[in-house]
Amino acid sequence: MSSVLVNERNHLVFAGQDVVRLAEQFGTPLYIYDEELLRANARAYRNSLAETYPPAKGRIYYAAKAFFTQAMAQLIAQEGLGLDVVSGGELATALWAGVDPQDIIFNGNNKSVDEMTAALHYGVGRFVIDSLTEIEVLDDLAGRMRRRPDVLVRVNPGVEAHTHEYVQTGITDCKFGLGATDGMALAAVDSILASTNLQLVGFHCHIGSQIFELDAYRTAVNAMAAFIKQVNLATGYFPAELDLGGGLGIRYTDNDQKMEINVAVALMSSAVKQVFQDKGWELPYLILEPGRSIVGEAGLAVYRVGVVKNIPGARTYVAVDGGMSDNPRVALYNSQYEAVVANRVRSDLRQTVTIAGKCCESGDLLAKDIELGPVQRGDLVAVFSAGAYQYSMASNYNRIPRPAVVMANHAGADLIIKRETYADLLKSDIVPERFCARQEHVVGL
Ligand SMILES: Cc1ncc(COP(=O)(O)O)c(C=O)c1O
Q: Are residues 199 and 289 in the same domain?
A: yes
Determine the atom of ligand 1 nearest the C-alpha atom of 290: 11
What are the two backbone dihedrals, phi and then psi, of residue 288, each rounded to the nearest 5 degrees? -125, 145
Q: What CATH number is given to the structural domain containing 18?
A: 2.40.37.10
Reference 258, options 437, 69, 44; nearest CA is 44
| Residue 180 domain flag | yes
Domain extent for 377: 5-33+297-426
Q: Are residues 163 and 21 in the same domain?
A: no
Q: Are residues 322 and 282 in the same domain?
A: no
Spatial contact of 153 and 139, defined as CB atoms under 8 Å apart? no
Q: How far is the CA of 291 from the centre of ligand 1 (A)?
A: 6
Write out 31-67 in H/E/C secondary structure: EEEEHHHHHHHHHHHHHHHHHHCCCCCEEEEEEHHHC
Q: Are residues 226 and 301 in the same domain?
A: no
| Residue 442 domain flag | no
Q: Which residues are catalytic?
A: 360
* pLDDT reported for residue 224: 97
pLDDT tens digit at each of 445 positions of the chain: 667 999 999 999 999 999 999 999 999 999 999 999 999 999 999 999 999 999 899 999 999 999 999 999 999 999 999 999 999 999 999 999 999 999 999 999 999 999 999 999 999 999 999 999 999 999 999 999 999 999 999 999 988 775 555 555 655 678 899 999 999 999 999 999 999 999 999 999 999 999 999 999 999 999 999 999 999 999 999 999 999 999 999 999 999 999 999 999 999 999 999 999 999 999 999 999 999 999 999 999 999 999 999 999 999 999 999 999 999 999 999 999 999 999 999 999 999 999 999 999 999 999 999 999 999 999 999 999 999 999 999 999 999 999 999 999 999 999 999 999 999 999 999 999 889 766 666 666 7
Q: Are residues 197 and 81 in the same domain?
A: yes
* pLDDT reported for residue 439: 60
* pLDDT reported for residue 159: 87
Overall domain count for the chain: 2
Q: Are residues 232 and 263 in the same domain?
A: yes
User: What is the gyration radius of the CA atoms in the chain, in angstroms?
Assistant: 23
Q: Are residues 162 and 199 in the same domain?
A: yes
pTM: 0.96
Sort 266 into a burial class: Cβ within 10 Å, 0-12 / 13-18 / 19+. middle
Q: How far is the CA of 169 from the centre of ligand 1 (A)?
A: 9
Q: Are residues 358 and 388 in the same domain?
A: yes
* pLDDT reported for residue 397: 98
Determine the atom of ligand 1 nearest the C-alpha atom of 154: 1
For ligand 1, which residues put their CB under 6 angstroms from it? Answer: 63, 65-66, 84, 107, 169, 206, 209, 245-248, 289-293
Strand partners, 6: 12
| Residue 119 domain flag | yes
